[in-house]
Amino acid sequence: MILADKIIHLRKKYNMTQEDLAEKLNVSRQSVSKWEGNQATPDLNKVLKLSKLFGVTTDNLLNDDVSIETEEEVAKEAELPKADFVSVSLNTAKEYLEEKSDFAHRIGIGVVLLISSVIPIVTLTTPSMLRIIPENVSEAIGISALFLLVALGVGVMIFANMRMQNFAFLEEEAFELEFGVRGFVEKEIENYRPTHTRQVSFGVGLIIVSVLPIIIIHLLFPSFAEEHIGYVVGIFLAVVSMAIYMLISTGIYWGSLNTLLNHRQSEDEESEVVDRIAGIYWPIVTAIFFGYSFITADWGRSWFIWPIAAMIFAALSGVVDFRSQNNE
């Protein structure tokens, strides 16, 4: 039994959480999580504290060939209260990953619909400016399409979240993997890693180059750009939505693989902070968008709120990640 497994075993034996153990050793919970995930090894001072805390020798802790239990300890362990851990079978893991894959695609589609909701308003400004269709008609069509696409996008995401309720325990409760599950997930990670890397790289690259057509057209054909800005921006938003879909779909599925291996334990606090920020941030951005658009009736330019909001949110997420790494 390796040191990581011994720490897990002893912690559970004494009915301690990672937070409890971290507090007794004067380290962060993230450090304990990494020890138990075999991603880091405690220094000698911490090993001595573990030995004293659990009443075992350092040789028993560090020697993989030595068991940490005796018959007396086994008998005592039976009398101790057990922590409530859910057992995850191979079939459950496969069903979770399959459902999470569908969930990732649905969330990606929902976000695409939300981003695309402003495309009709933006693109219809061009035929309105060119007097092809009346301005009031273009606004009516654009606003109707906006609300329809927003309703569809929100509906898709609500449906996706409802489908995942059966597996909520995997992301909210402590669990243990049955025999063979860890090997299956590790193999799936290795198989999916090239796809994940490719989609992230392509998605980020697509976002970066998506603004080039706007810049080039404005510099080389200023009069054309002024008359057809709605079409150009519409294409820009469509390209960005495709990139966002790739990033979201691959990111969610990749996260689910790491969830099964408990590799995300050290990121739980960071994710909770980001989720809380997102829950407040995006409704405010949406309110600002609709408020500005309705007050100014400038639907053709109010789209700029979304890319700016996305960059600010990315910066906030980066700050949270940076602080989390420093705390470790």
- pLDDT at residue 283 in the model: 65
The answer to whether the predicted template modeling score (pTM) of the entire model surpasses 0.85 is no
Q: How far is CA 173 from CA 83, 130, 166, 212, 317, in A?
A: 11, 59, 13, 46, 24
Q: Would the pLDDT of 81 be above 70?
A: no
- pLDDT at residue 183 in the model: 87
Q: Would the pLDDT of 281 be above 60?
A: yes
Which of 129-133, 238-242, 298-302 is least confident?
298-302
Say how far apart CA 182 and CA 51 lie, in whole Å: 28
Alpha helices by DSSP H, listed for 64-89, are: 71-79
Higher-pLDDT residue of 270 and 301 is 301
Sign of CA dihedral 31, 36, 39, 44: positive
- pLDDT at residue 204 in the model: 82
- Average pLDDT, whole number, for the chain? 77
State the DSSP string of 248-295.
HHHHHHHHHHHHHTTTTGGGHHHHHHHHHHHHHHHHHHHHHHHHHHHH
- pLDDT at residue 301 in the model: 67
Which of 48-62, 163-177, 313-327 is least confident?
313-327
- pLDDT at residue 290 in the model: 67
177: which strand partners?
88
DSSP conformational letter for 176: E
pLDDT in tens, 29-38: 888 888 888 7
Question: Domain extents for the chain?
Answer: 3-79, 87-265, 269-327
Higher-pLDDT residue of 168 and 278 is 168
pLDDT in tens, 89-139: 888 889 989 999 999 999 889 888 988 888 888 787 766 665 677 777 877
- pLDDT at residue 40 in the model: 84
Give the rounded percent of residues in the chain with a pLDDT score beyond 90: 6
Q: Would the pLDDT of 284 be above 90?
A: no
176: which strand partners?
87
CATH class for the domain made up of 3-79: mainly alpha
